[in-house]
Amino acid sequence: MENKSLINKLSLTYSNLALVLERIGNLKEAKESILQSIHIVKEYLNGNEVLLAKYYNNLGFIYLKVFEYKKNIRSSTNNELDLAKKYINRSLRLFRKIIGENHLHYCSILNNLGMVYEKEGNFNEAKKKYMQGINNIKVIGQVNHKILSQLESNLGSASWMSGDFKEGEELLLSALERDISIYGQIHLEVAMDLEKLALMYFESKQFEKSANYYLNAYNIFKKTVGRFTPTTVLCLENLFYIKRLQDDSKEIKRIFPILLEASKKLYGENHVNVTNLKKLSKTYVL
């Protein structure tokens, strides 16, 4: 019994490590770590279905992040999105069978599945999953839980992407307010909320507002996950693009060397993103 407890803790350690590695952009290592968790459960814990449900959800989430990263660097995305959907759906079925739908972890799985549908461009199905998660949380009575903020934030993004900017803005601002009350001003969840608002304002051509939100998000990303992670660099790329649209020469010249250094660190000297930046060097270097 004691050995089984230690093995259980080992599997949880690998799972938690995978999520930390994902946050700092080490996606290959994150995938290997969560696969190790799954192997331990199957090999030494008699295929404990509750643990497998949790770990399959995490694995699907990591595949989703791999898809997002590859898409950003213009690399072939292969079948990462299909794998994300496969494992998250497997997690959903297991969890529903064992524990049922009125549980916070089930709502978290719905949130991840909604994000997969969103990446597919199926905003109606994404919104259904987010709404189902929100309604389940209300039934549970956990209306101040962080998962509600995640669901609300993602529902906001799916809403404006499907044409309802007013509802999208209201939901995103509500999620931002709740996350600040839960975590404080300097937290990764807050930065992600700000980034979603920045993208929405960009798409509605409110460039100054968008730039301000991207800048605030970037400053928090730097402090929480570091300067050279995919999340941080992409945020800075978006801010730089807006400043070019605005022809804000002062900000362009300030941001350019920071972005070039970060892009070299993240992508490598010969990557297309770095090559394209180097072509701009004569224009933007003081």
Nearest in space to 48 (alpha carbons), one of 21, 10, 104: 10
User: Which residues have CB under 8 Å from 72's CB, separation 6+?
Assistant: 230, 234
Break the chain into its structural domains and give their ranges. 1-70, 101-182, 184-286
- Beta carbons of 104 and 142 less than 8 angstroms apart: yes
Q: Tell me, what's the pLDDT at 95?
A: 96
List pLDDT tens digits, range 129-173: 999 999 999 999 887 788 999 999 999 999 999 999 999 999 999
**CATH code that applies to domain 184-286:** 1.25.40.10
C-alpha separations of 151 from 26, 73, 236 in Å: 25, 27, 25
List pLDDT tens digits, range 235-285: 999 999 999 999 999 999 999 999 999 999 999 999 888 999 998 877 765
What is the rounded average pLDDT for all residues in the chain? 93
Prediction pTM value: 0.90
Domain 1-70 matches domain 101-182 at the CATH topology level: no
One CATH from 1.20.58, 1.10.150, 1.10.10, 3.40.50 for 1-70 = 1.20.58
CATH class, domain 101-182, is mainly alpha
What whole-number percentage of the chain has pLDDT above 70?
98
